[in-house]
Chain A
Amino acid sequence: MAPPPRSGPGRGRKGPVKGGAKKKTFFRRRKVCRFTAEHIEYVDYKDVKLLQQYILERAKILPRRISGNSARHQRMVQAAIKRARHLALLPFTTD
């Protein structure tokens, strides 16, 4: 699974926690919607190679909380994957 790009605005709530001396500090990279970053406005169901990056091993659709996709783009990806599945371009599941 391809991780979202490292670039993008790094500001926001999920930075390292400063100051808290005893508390463990978590470094959580801020997730960025790849489609927003790249100004992608249309997701095509024929782009199998790219859609494959948005399905998990068992061919489930990669959830938004992992991929960081914006809601709008996640919907586009979701629709594209479902169309591709119908045409047997992508699997429904793997056994």
Chain B
Amino acid sequence: MRTYELAIVADPRLSDEEMVALTDETKQLITARGGEVVREESWGKRKLAYPIRKLSEGRYVFLHLQMEPKSAGLFPEVELRLKQNDKVLRFLTVRTDLDLKRATNRAKPGQPVRTFSMIDDSAPREAVEEETV
């Protein structure tokens, strides 16, 4: 089983409904090809570090995916769709199972995998590790 993360930065002018429609469309595309959306993480509107297409904000969504290796063939299609969609400013797919597996192997037995976000408790971003390794 592989895990992936798909990050999408969309046009800030989209309404909430349009944003839901966009993510649903993407999710459907994934599930239709044997992928599973395990978790969805939405950051809402956020200021961009630099302007993209003269826009200074973006809507951020992160989809956490899980699938068998044979389903990984869905990515070219999903990415093509995102590329062609002009509501999408940026996207990024990252395969996470290998990194997490390595991290788990290196972690002290019996202890949870420590991620970057655990360094400083003054910055409690939600820990982004799944125990699905």
**Further pairs besides A41-B115, A42-B100, A85-B49: 13, Cβ < 8 Å:** A40-B114, A41-B104, A41-B107, A42-B116, A44-B128, A46-B7, A46-B62, A46-B125, A47-B116, A50-B120, A88-B9, A88-B49, A88-B50
Contact of B90 among A41, A49, A87 (CB under 8 A): A87
Check A42/B129 contact, CB under 8 A, given A49-B123, A85-B49, A91-B50.
yes
Residue of B nearest to A46 (CB): B128
B interface, by DSSP: helix, strand, loop or mixed?
Answer: mixed
Please provide the chain B residues from 1 to 36 with a CB less than 8 Å away from any CB of chain A in the complex. Answer: 7, 9
Question: Please, which residues of chain A bring their CB within 8 A of the CB of B50?
Answer: 88, 91-92
A-B contact count (CB 8 A): 80
User: Is the CB–CB distance between A47 and B90 below 8 Å?
Assistant: no
Task: Say yes or no: is B118 at the interface (Cβ < 8 Å to chain A).
Answer: yes
A31 close to chain B: CB less than 8 A: no
Q: Is B116 a contact partner of A44 (Cβ separation < 8 A)?
A: yes
Which B residues touch A85, using CB under 8 A?
A: 49
CB neighbours (8 Å) of A91 from chain B are 49-50
Determine the chain A residues whose CB is within 8 A of the CB of B83 once the complex forms: none
- A40-B115 in contact (CB<8A): yes
A80 contacts which chain B residues (CB < 8 A)? 116
B114 pairs with A38, CB closer than 8 A? yes
Q: Indicate if the CB atoms of B49 and A89 lie closer than 8 Å.
A: yes
B-contact bits for A68-95, CB 8 A (1 contact / 0 none): 0000000000001001011111111000
Question: B114 and A41: CB pair below 8 A?
Answer: yes
Asked if A29 CB lies within 8 Å of chain B CBs, one says no
B108 at the A interface (CB under 8 A): yes
Q: How far is the CA of A38 from the CA of B104 in the complex (A)?
A: 15
User: Which residues of chain B come closer than 8 Å to A35, judged between CB atoms?
Assistant: 116, 119
Chain B residues 90 to 118 lying within 8 A of chain A, measured CB to CB, are: 90, 92, 94, 99-100, 102-104, 106-108, 111, 113-118
Cβ of B104: which chain A residues have Cβ within 8 Å of it?
41
